Structure 1
């Protein structure tokens, strides 16, 4: 099995959301990460990044959310183009695992019409709840006719123990990481926005966009246990880490 890091877009946000001591006016640029697994039995995609249209007109798709989470217009990369660079199309993807249903993580879901989707059961319930749009759940991004399987902790995606879900609530009620077991690299834990910036994990910082700080601290502790066991942790939006990762066709085995 091979793991490919894909460019799912780029955002600008207020730095103070993630860094407590940052000035109110200071901004931070955040990469949007998706990850493809080329498994012997098919292709599995973890998150689908931003919809291609938001590079040109984010407000048309995201509404007021685009004022808080602003795509960088000159950065037009998206998961569909990233897959094309690997010689793949959305129809080649067998399974999509959504970490959560915020639009920078499921924006291209609509293109994967032949895939089956997996999310955490608590996340699906949150996305369907009253007032969900005020929490960043936009139906245009996640509510599609493709089959959606809601799972809990420890779901074995392909049945061989090499891709297993890990519940990491706090940022959202049902945020879900994915533990990958690679032959040469070893264990890799994709944590999405459970750890947006590595410093949040290192300093037990609770970002302002977390819905449950106590749950997030417990998720931090859980992630540290995986790391202590040798797992490589890939954060959701850490630009310093992004610069060090091999991307595209230069994958991990």
Structure 2
């Protein structure tokens, strides 16, 4: 099995959302990632990044969220174009696992018309709630005709313990990570926004955009447990870590 790290865009936000002692006007740049797994039983995407249209008119797609998440990604750099660079089209994707349904993590969902989708039961419920838009859920990003299967705990995707979802609530009610067992690299834990920045985990910092602080701190403990067992943790938006990851055709095995 191979893991390809794909560029899903880039955001600029207020640093104080993630860094408690940051100056009021300080900003932080946040890479957006998706991960492709080429498993013998199918091609699996973990998250799908930002929709390509936000490059030119983020407010048309995201509404008022575009004033909080300022899109600054490179032109024509998104998950679909990243797949094309490694010889795949959207119809080649068999399964999409969404960590959660915020726009920078499920923006390209609609392109994968032949795929099935997996998310946590609590996440789908939150995305359908009456106050969903106020919580950052936009139906245009996640509500598509493709089948969505919900899970309540961990899910072994192909029954061989090589791709396993991990509940990591706190950032959202149904936030999920995924642990991948790679032959050469070893275990890799994708934590998405359960740990947006590595410093949040190291310092037990709770970002201001967390849904539930207690749940998030408990999820930090689960991440540490898996890391201490030998897994490499890939955070959701850590720019320093992103710079050092292999990307695109340069896969982890």
Q: TM-score if structure 2 supplies the norm length?
A: 0.99
SS at match of 2:156: coil
5+ residue gaps, structure 2, are: none
Q: 2-side partners of 1:73 and 1:163: how far apart?
A: 29
Distance 1:160 1:227 in 2: 20
Does the aligned pair in 1 maintain the 2:48–2:106 contact within 8 Å? yes
Contact 1:8 1:79 in 2 (8 A): yes
Give the corresponding residue for 2:149: 149
Aligned-pair distance for 1:76? 4.0
Q: Is the 8 A contact 2:166 2:178 kept in 1?
A: yes
C-alpha distance in 1, partners of 2:158/2:152? 15
Residue 188 of structure 1 is matched in structure 2 by 188
Match of 1:205 in 2: 205
Partner of 1:134: 134
What is the CA deviation profile of residues 75-104 of structure 1, one whole-angstrom value per residue up to 9, with x for unaligned ones? 541000000000000000000000000000
Tell me how far 1:161 sits from its aligned partner.
1.2
C-alpha separation between the residues in 2 aligned to 1:45 and 1:97? 6
CA distance, structure 2, for counterparts of residue 148 and residue 226 of structure 1: 27
| Structure 2 residue aligned with 1:219 | 219
In 2: Cα distance, 1:127 partner to 1:57 partner: 23
Match of residue 94 from structure 1: 94
Tell me if structure 1 keeps the 8 A contact 2:98–2:117: yes
> In structure 2, the residue corresponding to 1:99 is in which secondary structure?
coil
Alignment-derived partner of residue 17 in structure 2: 17
Q: Kindly report structure 1 stretches of 4+ aligned residues shifted beyond 3 Å.
A: 73-76
Rounded to whole Å, the distance in 2 between the matches of 1:184 and 1:71 is: 35
Residue deviations 1:1-29 (CA, integer Å, cap 9, x gap): 00000000000000010000101100110
Structure 1 residue 73, shift from structure 2 partner: 5.4
Give the TM-score of the pair, scaled to structure 1: 0.99
Q: For the Cα contact (< 8 Å) 1:9–1:75, is it kept in 2?
A: no
